[in-house]
Structures are given as C-alpha cells and as structure tokens.
Amino acid sequence: MRAAIDGPQAGRRVEEVLDRLAATGDRAACAAAEELVRVLMDFYGAGLARIVEKVGDGPLEPVYGDELVASLLSLHGLHPEDVHTRIDRALAAHGEPLELLGFDADTGILRLRPAASTGCGCGSGAGGGRDAGRTLEDTLACFAPEVTGVEQEPAAAPAPALLQIGTRPPSPARVP
C-alpha cells in the first residue's frame, strides 16, 4: 500500500526542487524541469478529466470532501462545486469556528474573523479540526486554490450579558 500523500506538502516539495535547480544557475535545467512539471500536470489533468467525464458527478460526490481529491479536481479546473461551496468545506474541515466575511474573486482574498463564541466561557472552545497541525491556508489550498490570501479581522465584541429584572420584588416569606 502506498504512503498517504499530502497535497500541500507535495506542492511545497515540487517548489523546493525547482528552487534548488534555480539556485544552480543552470537556466536550461530550470526550463526543462518547469516544462516537465507542466507536461505531467497536463497529462494527469487530462486523465482526471476523462475519469470525471466517464463517471459523472454523482458517483464522485462522496469524495468531494476528501482534501487530496478536492485539491486535484480544483487544480485541474474539474471540481463541480463552486468556489464558495469549497471555501465552506475548507472552513468546516479546518474546525476552528470562523465567520466568512467575504471572498474577492478578482484578488483571491478571503476575509474572515473568529466566530462569536457560544461556549460556556471557560476557554474550552472547539479546538482543531481533522488535523490540528494543518494551517488554514493548507486546508484552503486543498479545497479552494483560488484563495491566494486570507485577511483575518479581530473578533466581534461579545454581546453584553442579559440582565433580567423582575417587574416586582419577590414577596416576603410569611410566618404562620
């Protein structure tokens, strides 16, 4: 059985290898390596497109929430869900309660803020998602690579506690 592949980590490894080649100063080797990456991307993209075409959306629906599959489909422009649905998936997978303020498709900037806490006030809010070590940016890269940056606004001020005041004072205890 093959080892699990992490999409963002694989992308970083490809960039590292290309950066090491660039550091050698050999422009021909860099150009050849970048062409190889493009050719392989085209090859795998064409294969995935054929699978999606032959299988259809219905049978693929159960794997849309899988980070690796979502990443590959999105990378090749084959994911049938729109970017807003995939952003919602990424935020849900990340696990940290965040409020979506907006996404600018032109700039790729996603605006978020911590969601209002609904906990008990003891500081034990919901922690980490499926992989607490994964950053929000990594999760977004899997589900919505269109997001190129995240701006987080400060949390909204909590609503003041509700103080209930009765309409009349309680009646004194009667002594028999």
pLDDT tens sequence across 116-152: 755 444 444 444 444 445 688 888 888 898 999 999 9
pLDDT at residue 102, as a whole number: 93
Both tokens assigned to 117: 């806490």
Where is pLDDT greater, at 17 or 166?
17
Which of 142, 62, 61 minimizes the C-alpha distance to 94?
Answer: 142
pTM of the model: 0.65
In contact, 111 and 151? CB cutoff 8 Å: yes
